A and B are shown apart, each in its own frame.
Chain A
Amino acid sequence: MALYFGDLLPFSSLFLEGLWTAVYITLIAMLAGSAIGVLLYLGKAGARRALRLLCTGYIEVIRNTPLLVQLYLIYFALPAVGINLGPVWAAAIGLTLNNAAYTAEIYRAGFESVPYGLREAGKALGMKPAQIVRYIVILPATRNVFPALTNQLILLFLASSIGSIISLPELTNATMTVSNTTYRTIEALTVGGLLYLAVSAVLALASKRAETTLFRWAVSGHV
Chain B
Amino acid sequence: MFRAFGWQDLIPLAKGAWLTIQLCAVSGILGIFFGLILGLARTSPSRIARWISTIYIFCIRGIPILVIIFFIFFGIPLLFPGMELDKFAAAVIALTVFAAAYVAEIVRGSIEAIPKGQSEAAEALGLDYWRKLRYVVLPQAMKIMVPPGVGFLIGLVKDSSLVTVTGFIELTQAGNIVTNLTGDPIKTFLVVAAMYFIICYGISRLGRLYERRTGIHINALKLPEPAGL
Contact = CB atoms under 8 A, between A and B. Distances in A.
Interface of A: 1, 60-61, 63-70, 72-73, 76-77, 80-81, 98-99, 102, 105-106, 109-110, 113, 144-145, 147-148, 151-152, 155-156, 158-159, 161-162, 164-165, 172, 175-176, 179, 185-186, 189, 192-193, 196-197, 200-201, 222
Contact of B64 (A1, A73, A161): A161
B109 to A, nearest CB: 13
B161 interface: yes
Contact of B220 (A66, A80, A148, A162): A148
Given A72-B175, A159-B229, A197 B221 contact: no
Nearest to A95: B229
Contacts of B161: 66, 68-69
Contacts of A69: 161, 172, 175, 189, 192-193, 196
Nearest to B183: A80
Contact of A189 (B58, B75, B162, B204): B75
Given A77-B189, A158-B64, A196-B67, A64 B197 contact: yes
B132 interface: no
A1 B162 contact: no
B158 A176 contact: no
B71 interface: yes
Interface residues of B, number: 45
Given A66-B158, A185-B74, A189-B75, A148 B59 contact: no
Main secondary structure, interface of A, reads helix
Contacts of B197: 61, 64-65
Nearest to B164: A68
Contacts of A152: 225
A88 to B, nearest CB: 18
A69 to B, nearest CB: 5
Contact of B225 (A67, A98, A155): A155
A161 B225 contact: no
12 contacts: A1-B79, A64-B196, A64-B204, A68-B172, A69-B175, A80-B186, A110-B221, A161-B67, A165-B164, A172-B70, A200-B62, A201-B58
B154 interface: yes
Contacts of B165: 165
Nearest to A162: B66
Nearest to A176: B70
A105 B220 contact: yes
A189 B74 contact: yes
Nearest to A80: B186
A164 B74 CA distance: 17
B196 A65 contact: yes
Ordered nearest first, which 8 A-B pairs have the shortest CB separation? A161-B64, A66-B161, A64-B200, A109-B220, A197-B62, A66-B158, A200-B62, A77-B186
A95 to B, nearest CB: 8
Nearest to A98: B229
A61 B201 CA distance: 9
Given A65-B196, A105-B220, A151-B225, A197 B63 contact: yes
A196 B65 CA distance: 11
B229 A102 contact: yes
